[in-house]
Amino acid sequence: MSEPVDDEALVKRFPWVQITHDSKHLFRGWLDERLLINRCDNCSLFHHPPKPICPECWSSNLTPTEVSGRGVIHLAMFLRQGAPAPDVDYLKGPHPVVTVDLEEQEGLRFSSTVVGCPVEDVKIGLEVELTWIERYGSPFPVFRPRTEGAS
C-alpha cells in the first residue's frame, strides 16, 4: 500500500485524467493497484463511472469496493490514432481499447486496453483479467487474457 495522498497530490499523480470529487477514490485505488468501483450501501448495486448517487435507488451512501477485475470483453475497438500515451505506439499497429463486462454484476463495465497478447487475439467474448502497467509513473489498470485454470 502506498502512503495516503491528499487531493492535490492525487491530481499530480494523474495529470492526464480529470479527477473529480466523485472519481477521486477510483484513482486513489489505482495507486495501490486496486480497482475500486462505487457500490451502494442501500441496494448493493455497483455503478461505473462514479456518480454522486446510486443510479438505481438514489442513495448517496456509496462505498468504493474492490472488484476482481475478471470479466469478458463486451466491445473492442482498434485505434490507429488517438491521444498520446507513453505505452502506446500507433505506428506499430492498432491500439486495442476494450469494454469489459466485470463478473461482479451484469452490465458493470470498465474500459481499458489489453496487453499480453497479439492484437488479433483481442475479440469480443475473450475472458480477461486485470493487470497493471505504469503510465506517466503511476499504476494504470489494463486487461490481459485470463490464464487457463487461474481463479
User: Which stretch, 54-62, 69-77, 83-91, 126-134, contacts Zn ion (CB under 5 A)?
Assistant: 54-62
Close Cβ partners of 122 (under 8 Å, ≥ 6 residues apart): 73, 76, 78, 96, 98, 114
- Binding to Zn ion (CB under 5 A) within 21-40 occurs at 40
User: Which stretch, 51-59, 78-86, 114-122, 124-132, contacts Zn ion (CB under 5 A)?
Assistant: 51-59
As a whole number of angstroms, the distance between CA 151 and CA 149 comes to: 6
Total residues in contact with Zn ion, by rule CB under 5 A: 8
Close Cβ partners of 35 (under 8 Å, ≥ 6 residues apart): 29, 66, 67, 69, 110, 130, 141
**β-pairing, 95-102 with 46-47?**
unpaired
User: Which stretch, 10-18, 22-30, 58-66, 109-117, contacts Zn ion (CB under 5 A)?
Assistant: 58-66
In the complex, minimum distance from the CB of residue 74 to Zn ion, in angstroms, rounded to a whole number: 23
Among 16, 20, 49, 57, binds Zn ion (CB under 5 A): 57
Binding site for Zn ion (CB under 5 A): 40, 42-43, 45, 54, 56-57, 59
